[in-house]
Amino acid sequence: MEKIEQEIKLRGKILPGNVLKVNSFLNHQLDPLFLNEMALEWYKVFKDKNVTKIVTIEASGIALAVLVGLLFKVDVVFAKKSSSFNLSNCYNSKIYSYTKGKYFDILIEKEFLKEGDNVLIIDDFLANGSASLGLIDILNQASCNLVGIGIAIEKGFQEGGNILREKGIQVESLAIIESMDYDKQEITFRK
């Protein structure tokens, strides 16, 4: 998706440690019209796959996932990152966040994933694949079918995309970054 590449070049900031900050439209401030264009891209790709549920992880995935859910007219479930006394009877998995530098649990209440649900995972970033693998672990526990994964920005120089595609999973990333240069503040996208 050319527009997301343009926006990343225009508004993204490269931080040390291969961190890409896109707070101006995706992770802190949200541009709903642009996010809706992204949602439409995934809708076009997966609309004939009988998607019955959208799954994401709080917090940054929620905005994209709800817009996708609106197009598919299906419910969205976002995995929670910490247990709270409001959660009961959950599937859970453990994922590692390089951004935060720690492991944390993700949880989804069992009643919101039905056996046979056709699930589309939506997330803002794909890097090492830990978040997606954690969600897939939960989907397996719930005997759901994974239809595919829609990612806004994939860091193509990290291993997540390969790991998932080698499993035969359809990963639709709207932008794939081949390399980022902090000193030059330069980003190269995969063609």
Instruction: Report angle CA 30, 160, 190 to the nearest 5 degrees.
Output: 70
**Least distance to a second copy, CB of residue 124, Å:** 12
State the maximum Cα–Cα separation within the chain, in Å, rounded to a whole number: 49
**Least distance to a second copy, CB of residue 13, Å:** 9
**Least distance to a second copy, CB of residue 107, Å:** 9
Query: What residue ranges bind a second copy (CB under 8 A)?
Result: 15, 19, 21, 23-24, 27-33, 35-36, 58-59, 62-63, 65-67, 69-70, 73-78, 80, 84-87, 99-100, 108-109, 111-112
Nearer to a second copy, 36 or 158 (CB): 36
**Least distance to a second copy, CB of residue 23, Å:** 6
Nearer to a second copy, 56 or 164 (CB): 56
Q: Which long-range contacts (CB under 8 A, 24 or more apart) does 185-190 make?
A: 185/13, 185/14, 186/14, 187/8, 187/9, 187/12, 187/14, 187/20, 189/5, 190/156
Cα separation of 131 and 93, whole Å?
Answer: 10
Residue 93 bridge partners (DSSP):
106
Nearer to a second copy, 30 or 163 (CB): 30
**Least distance to a second copy, CB of residue 151, Å:** 18
Is the omega angle on the peptide bond into residue 59 within 30 degrees of 0, that is, cis? yes
Nearer to a second copy, 90 or 151 (CB): 90
How remote is the C-alpha of 6 from its chain's centroid?
Answer: 20
Nearer to a second copy, 35 or 164 (CB): 35
